[in-house]
């Protein structure tokens, strides 16, 4: 296997994740948001599988399978059903200032590259680029969480953030399987908890707009 090709493909996949994170930022419809998230997870599992192939680490295939099964299929489908049951699939969520958000996101990518590249000067190029992209995905996920109002899209933001973490974890060589599995399970549990909370919010307030929570606490916006 040519060294150049290995680098190029993992670069392509990680870059694809960053691109999809940007796509998540400006989606204003629920179903398209979920679809792009599924795609995000799919690219992640491809990337992990590629890392498994390149590093010759078979346990990473397990991680890739987990990512594919849970993140690309189970969670999006479950979220899809939740959205339908909540009856918010027609909601058009006004995303605050797409332009500025995207620009800010670009700044974040620049920042993570500026932080990671000098720190990891000694490690090989593959891990360096991967880490920089992973940090960008994490930051973009966080950015998405704070720019969204709908609880479901906040969940999607959180999940994409977690995808970034898995990307970072698999980019580094010698990551034990048990860490990845425990991360995957904690995410699943977080998903379940958040799902339950969502229904509780809905029961109480007839909406999943988290502003309802704030006004319930009697706070100013």
Partner 1 sequence: MLTAAGAAILLLLLLGLCGPLHGRLPGSAARTDRIAYGGGMAGCFVLMSVGLAALSGAVEDDALSAALPIGLPWLGAHFRLDPLSAFFMVVVDLGGLIACIYGLGYGTHEREPGRVLGFFTPYLAGLNLVLLADDAFSFLLCWEFMSLSSWLLVLVSHRDPENRHAAYVYIVMASIGTFCLLLAFGLMAGPGGGYGFAAMRASALDPGLETVVLLLAIAGAGSKAGLVPLHAWLPLAHPAAPSHVSALMSGVMTKVAIYGFVRIVLDLLGTPAWWWGLVVLLLGGLTAAMGVLYALMQQDLKRLLAYSTVENVGLVFVGLGLALAFQAQGMVVPAALALSAGLLHVLNHSLFKSLLFFGAGAVLVATGERQLDRLGGLIHRMPRTAILFLVGCAAISALPPLNGFVSEWLIFQAILLSPQLPDWALRFVVPAVGAVLALSAALVATTFVKAYGIAFLGRPRSREAEAAHEVDRWQGAAMTGLAALCLAVGVLPALFLDLLAPVTQALTGASLDRQSGLPWLTLIPIAEARSSYNGLLLLLFIAFSTVVPALVIHRFATRATRRGAIWDCGFPQTDPATQYTSGSFAQPLRRVFGTLIFHARERVDMPLPGEVRAARFSVELRDLAWDVFYAPVARAVEFAAGRLNHLQFLTVRRYLSLVFGALVLLLLVLAIWQ
Beta bridge partners of 209: 150
- In the list 146, 179, 189, 197, the residue contacting partner 1 (rule: CB under 8 A) is 146
- In the list 114, 177, 189, 197, the residue contacting partner 1 (rule: CB under 8 A) is 114
User: Which of these segments, 6-14, 62-70, 83-91, 112-120, binds partner 1 (CB under 8 A)?
Assistant: 112-120
* Residues 148-167 contacting partner 1, CB under 8 A: 149
Neighbour count for residue 121 (Cβ, 10 Å): 7
User: Which of these segments, 33-41, 143-151, 166-174, 190-198, binds partner 1 (CB under 8 A)?
Assistant: 143-151
Q: CA 34, 38, 42 angle in degrees (round to 5)?
A: 170
Task: Give how far Cα 77 sits from Cα of 118, 162, 178, 181, Å.
Answer: 40, 18, 26, 21
Instruction: Please state the closest distance from residue 27 (CB atom) to partner 1, in A.
Output: 18
* Residues 120-139 contacting partner 1, CB under 8 A: 139
User: Which of these segments, 71-79, 105-113, 123-131, 169-177, binds partner 1 (CB under 8 A)?
Assistant: 105-113
For residues 37 and 20, give the distance between their C-alpha atoms in angstroms, rounded to a whole number: 8
For residues 37 and 106, give the distance between their C-alpha atoms in angstroms, rounded to a whole number: 19
Establish if 8 lies at the interface with partner 1 (CB under 8 A): no
User: Which of these segments, 15-23, 39-47, 181-189, 206-214, binds partner 1 (CB under 8 A)?
Assistant: 206-214
Task: Give how far Cα 104 sits from Cα of 1, 101, 126, 150, 170, Å.
Answer: 38, 5, 26, 21, 27
For residues 176 and 59, give the distance between their C-alpha atoms in angstroms, rounded to a whole number: 8
- In the list 6, 74, 111, 127, the residue contacting partner 1 (rule: CB under 8 A) is 111
* Pick 39 or 111: Cβ nearer partner 1: 111
For residues 102 and 11, give the distance between their C-alpha atoms in angstroms, rounded to a whole number: 21
- In the list 9, 145, 165, 194, the residue contacting partner 1 (rule: CB under 8 A) is 145
Q: Which residues bind partner 1 (CB under 8 A)?
A: 108, 111-112, 114-115, 118-119, 139, 142-143, 145-146, 149, 210, 213-214, 217, 219, 221
């Amino acid at each position: 296997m040519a060294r150049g090709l290995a680098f190029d493909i993992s670069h392509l996949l990680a870059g694809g994740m960053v691109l999809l994170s940007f796509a998540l930022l400006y989606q204003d419809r629920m179903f398209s948001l979920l679809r792009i998230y599924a795609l995000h997870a799919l690219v992640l599992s491809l990337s992990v599988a590629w890392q498994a192939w390149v590093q010759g680490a078979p346990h990473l295939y397990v991680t890739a399978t987990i990512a594919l099964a849970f993140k690309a299929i189970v969670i999006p489908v479950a979220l899809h059903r939740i959205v339908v049951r909540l009856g918010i699939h027609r909601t058009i969520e006004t995303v605050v200032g797409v332009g500025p958000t995207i620009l800010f996101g670009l700044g974040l990518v620049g920042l993570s590259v500026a932080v990671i590249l000098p720190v990891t000067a000694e490690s090989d190029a593959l891990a360096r680029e991967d880490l920089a992209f992973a940090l960008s995905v994490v930051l973009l996920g966080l950015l998405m969480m704070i720019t969204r109002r709908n609880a479901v899209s906040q969940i999607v933001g959180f999940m994409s953030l977690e995808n970034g973490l898995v990307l970072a974890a698999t980019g580094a060589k010698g990551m034990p399987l048990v860490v990845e599995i425990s991360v995957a399970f904690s995410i699943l549990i977080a998903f379940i908890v958040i799902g339950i909370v969502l229904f509780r919010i809905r029961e109480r307030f007839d909406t999943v707009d988290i502003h309802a929570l704030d006004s319930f606490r009697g706070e100013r916006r």
